[in-house]
Each structure stands twice: as C-alpha cells, then as structure tokens.
Amino acid sequence: MNQSQWDLLLDVIGGKEVSPLPTGFIIDSPWLPGWYGISTLDYFTSEKIWFDANKKAIDTFPEAIFLPGFWAEFGMCTEPSAFGSKCRWGEVSLPHPGKISSDINILCRLDKPDVRKDGLLPFVINRLKHTQKQIEKIGHQIKFAVARGPLNIASFLFGTTELMMAMMTEQEKCHKLIELITDFLTDWIEYQIKCFPTIEGILLLDDIIGFIGDEQCREYVVPYFKKIYGSFDAKVNFLHNDAPGLVCAPYLAEIGVNLFNFSFKHSIAEMKKLTSGKVTLLGNIPPRDVLKQGTPEDVADALKKSVEGLNDKTKIVLSCGGGVTQGVTTENIISFIATAMTL
C-alpha cells in the first residue's frame, strides 16, 4: 500500500466524505497464483515470483487499494504450523493444516509457540525482510500485521465441530485454549510490528465467529479480540469475517474494530445499522457468484445495487464480501473499478 492509499483509508475510517468511493480488495494465495499464471506451490516457494505477482496486481489495477498489501502468508497453515499442525501442500490446491487432536485436554497442554522460531512464522518475516527494499522502491510500505483469529486457529488445531461442542460443554477448557492462542497472537503481532516499524494496522481473519450465537460471541469473541486489538495503538483495526456477520456486528466497535469485511449476504445498509455507523465497511458484492462467475456487466450492476438507497456513503470501501477468489478475471475487476468511479 502506498502512502496516498493509506491516507485515503484513514480518511474514510475517520468519517470524511470521499468521492468517488474508494475500491479495496483482500488479495492473497487463493487468487494471485492463478491470475498470474503460476502454481500455488511456486507462489509459496519463490520470493521473486511472490513479489512479481503482487506487483503485477498493483500495476494492473493502480486505482484499487489491495489489503493488506504484499501479504506474506502460507494460506491457513501460517499460524497453526507454529503449534505443530502437519501442513499439506499441492501444486494448485491451497495448503491445509492438519488437526492436532480431538482431545481438548491435550490441546490445553500445548506450549505457547515462540513466534521468532516456530512453524512457518520465520519464513513470513524473512520473506518481507528480503523484499522490503523492493516494496519500498515502488513507493509501497508494509502497513499491516496479519494473523488468523483465535477461533479460526482453534478450529484447525481441534476441528470445527469439536470446537463448537467444547464451547457449550467444556467452557473452562475452551477458554484456556483460546486464551493460549490469544496470547500467542499478541506475541505474533507484536513481533511483526517490531520487525517492520512501518506497520500501523492489524488485520485478523476469523470466519468461525460467524457460526456461533450471541451468547458465545459475548463469551468467546468479545474479550479475546478486544485483548488483541487493545494491546496495540494501531490506526486501523481490520477484521475479516465473510461467514454470517450479524451476531458480531453490534460488538465490533466495543472490540475496537474500525474496518470490517463481511459476508455478501448482508447489505451495506444493514451492516451500517447494526454497527451504528461506527465501523467502516469493506464490501459488498458476491465474490464467487458475481465477481468470479458473472460478466463485467453483472459486476457493474451488482455494485450499483449495493449502494442503492444509501443516504450516508461515508465509512464505505467498495469491495466484495470476502477475499478475491480463485478465477476472478482482470476484466471483471476493471469493470468493478470503473463502476466504482461513477458512484
């Protein structure tokens, strides 16, 4: 992200009226390799290819804000690998972290990972260190510390069904596991900021919070996410949850979130109401059914409908309801940006 894009993002989050409405997309390994014409494995194992793919996206779509920008990730494996998850890799498919145990007692006895040494975390840091000068040479900076959220990580270590059951039947042990992961995440974000002082934002990604009820949200989401965001004085506290987001929306401001990427199943108007206009919204057309599978005309129509009837167009960054998915074409993104410039 370059400085003018960062300043624009801060203006939007601050509630300033911005015209035209800015465009922003979350891009990473699901989309970039295929769009760039390489295998997923090559994307993960070559710093040069990774940098070139990200740079091509920036050069091709200079009007778009790409979030978090030069994301040095290894799919869902990044954080679970530090706890010992077995990571499975494929040429085209995304990597997947294996479950450690279905026994919560075993998981509660895990040691907190050393963020400087364990799993894939050192590779994330080194990738950015090795390419930082190239990133800055083209006028961009490393602006976000990024991590999967505590419930998301717990679901990989434990299993999603097992985690949901434990929230209801093993509350004390479930809290112990989530607290362990939360402490680890605080360390991980702090280490990223220490390595790259240009970081001024935090991005957490956690879809599991979209599958729980209000009581569980207040018990397992609010305190732990609040602790992570509250441990730092970041200018942007960004949360991605493209699963159902109606439960967590009323709590986002309390948690400290000021930028939210949410499910395409919820309208911008609906989320504005649920967040009391306190949170900047990143959305919101379907990433698969429209941005990927639709025509450029479909993309334009969906984007126009997403802002129809909005009396207040502050605190909005136009996007899709989730990250840019595999198979989205250049033509459809161009159509999105061109339409956004008219709104």
The token duo for 280 is 């900047």
Q: Is the peptide bond before 68 cis (omega within 30 degrees of 0)?
A: yes
Whole-number pLDDT of residue 96: 96
Instruction: Please choose, from the candidates 234, 130, 244, 232, the residue with its C-alpha nearest in 3D space to the C-alpha of residue 186.
Output: 232
Whole-number pLDDT of residue 245: 87
The end-to-end CA distance of the chain, in Å, is 23
**Where are the strands (E) in 36-188, listed by range?**
64-67, 87-88, 96-97, 144-148
Whole-number pLDDT of residue 257: 98
Q: How many other CB atoms are there within 10 angstroms of residue 270's CB atom?
A: 15
| 94 contacts 75 by C-beta, under 8 angstroms | yes
| 245 contacts 262 by C-beta, under 8 angstroms | yes
Per-residue pLDDT in tens (0 to 9) along the chain, 343 residues: 999 999 999 999 999 999 999 999 999 999 999 999 999 999 999 999 999 999 999 999 999 999 999 999 999 999 999 999 999 999 999 999 999 999 999 999 999 999 999 999 999 999 999 999 999 999 999 999 999 999 999 999 999 999 999 999 999 999 999 999 999 999 999 999 999 999 999 999 999 999 999 999 999 999 999 999 999 999 999 999 999 989 999 999 999 999 999 999 999 999 999 999 999 999 999 999 999 999 999 999 999 999 999 999 999 999 999 999 999 999 999 999 999 999 9
Q: Which domains can be identified in the chain, with CATH numbers? A: 3-340 (3.20.20.210)
* Single-letter amino acid, residue 303: L
| 87 contacts 96 by C-beta, under 8 angstroms | yes
Whole-number pLDDT of residue 144: 98
Whole-number pLDDT of residue 180: 98
| 264 contacts 283 by C-beta, under 8 angstroms | yes
> Distance between CA 156 and CA 160 in Å, rounded?
7
Q: Is the peptide bond before 311 cis (omega within 30 degrees of 0)?
A: no
* Single-letter amino acid, residue 206: D
Whole-number pLDDT of residue 103: 97
* Single-letter amino acid, residue 193: I
Q: How many other CB atoms are there within 10 angstroms of residue 161's CB atom?
A: 10
**Alpha carbon distances (Å) from 81 to 29, 77, 90, 125, 155:** 17, 6, 16, 14, 13
Instruction: Provide the 8-state DSSP code for 290.
Output: I
Burial of 265 (0-12, 13-18, 19+ CB in 10 A): middle
